[in-house]
Amino acid sequence: MPYRFLRYIPKNHLSRVVGRLVHARLPRPIARRLVRWFADAYEIDVSAASKPIDDYPSIGDFFVRDLREGLRPVEGDFVSPVDGVLRSFGTVFGGRLEQIKDKSYGVAHFLGDDGNVTRYENGAFFNLYLSPQDYHHVHSPVGGNIVRSVHIPGKLWPVNDWSLGNIDELFSINERVVTYIEGSLGMVAVVMVGATNVGQISVVYDSFVSNRPSVDRLAIRDYDPPVAIAAGARLGTFNMGSSVVVLVEPGRIDLRRVRLEAGQKVHYGSAVLHAGAR
């Protein structure tokens, strides 16, 4: 695909249009065929869904499907927030995060807050990618209290391998929602990053949604009292595939104890660290 031509396409507007189309209510026989076509095209395990595939009235409703209860047990106090692929993990260094080998992006711009550059310096990051095949709800990687959110409007470039290698500061350019959770691992930042065809990012603890033409500036919300959340509890939802980046303060976990590997498929609720490790 000639991705370079995406520079000239109004990606945010396109994503809103796609969002409306995939959620459009169609006659039931047509909707069934389209949902089945989508599931087959992306080789989705429909047996994991909470409802039979023919019960979904649109591709959009199937895309944000729930899973069968009990299918994803929560295995610890620091877990994967999504079903997806662990693209990379490592140490925050020099105020930068690894995007791909020999390419990085700045923490301050990414989080929309200069004050957090030092907070996460020498801490850990985890970058997870959700494909259209995956379940698209996002869950909390830790238990604690949600104390702040930051909504940062931006572009909606794809977050595929081509974009990782060709778009500088990709994750700092795209629209994103940052959730700060204070708990036993300090202040953990969970960043939901939008992408092309992500018509909306929503969160369970607030009413705002992303990718609206009327929202064009950074918005910071502090929660007093804070909002309690358990590890593995639902945090938010993507309406198409994208990425989640988790940042942990220095000294909280030992990356040598990570039980996962870069490039590995993961499920939400899966333990990130070996049992008993920090």
The single residue of 58, 88, 104, 242 carrying the catalytic annotation is 242
Q: Which of 10-19, 93-102, 158-167 has the lowest mean pLDDT?
A: 10-19
Question: What DSSP state is assigned to residue 42?
Answer: T
The single residue of 15, 58, 77, 83 carrying the catalytic annotation is 83
pTM of the model: 0.88
pLDDT, tens digit, 9 for 90 and up, residues 33-60: 988 998 999 899 999 999 999 999 888 8
pLDDT, tens digit, 9 for 90 and up, residues 241-263: 689 999 999 999 999 999 999 99
pLDDT, tens digit, 9 for 90 and up, residues 176-191: 999 999 999 999 999 9
Backbone angles phi, psi at 125, to 5 degrees: -130, 150
Annotated catalytic residue 242: yes
pLDDT, tens digit, 9 for 90 and up, residues 224-237: 999 999 999 999 99
Does the structure show a pLDDT above 50 at 277?
yes
The single residue of 136, 137, 139, 151 carrying the catalytic annotation is 139
State residue 190's pLDDT score.
98
Burial label, 164 (beta-carbon count in 10 A; 0-12, 13-18, 19+): buried
Among 212, 208, 133, 136, which residue's Cα sits nearest to residue 178?
A: 208
State residue 5's pLDDT score.
52
Distances from the Cα of 128 to the Cα of 33, 59, 86, 99, 266, angstroms: 31, 23, 4, 11, 9
> In terms of pLDDT, which residue wins out, 112 or 18?
112
State residue 60's pLDDT score.
83
Does the structure show a pLDDT above 60 at 19?
no
pLDDT, tens digit, 9 for 90 and up, residues 188-234: 999 999 877 555 788 999 987 765 655 567 889 999 999 999 999 99
Does the structure show a pLDDT above 70 at 17?
no
pLDDT, tens digit, 9 for 90 and up, residues 64-91: 899 999 999 999 999 999 999 999 999 9
Give the Cβ contact number of residue 199 at 10 Å.
Answer: 25
Report how far residue 112's alpha carbon sits from residue 165's, in angstroms, rounded to the nearest whole number: 23
State residue 211's pLDDT score.
58
Annotated catalytic residue 47: no
State residue 212's pLDDT score.
60
Which residue blocks in 152-266 are alpha helix, DSSP H? Answer: 161-166, 170-173
pLDDT, tens digit, 9 for 90 and up, residues 131-159: 888 999 999 999 999 999 999 988 777 77
* Beta carbons of 40 and 61 less than 8 angstroms apart: no
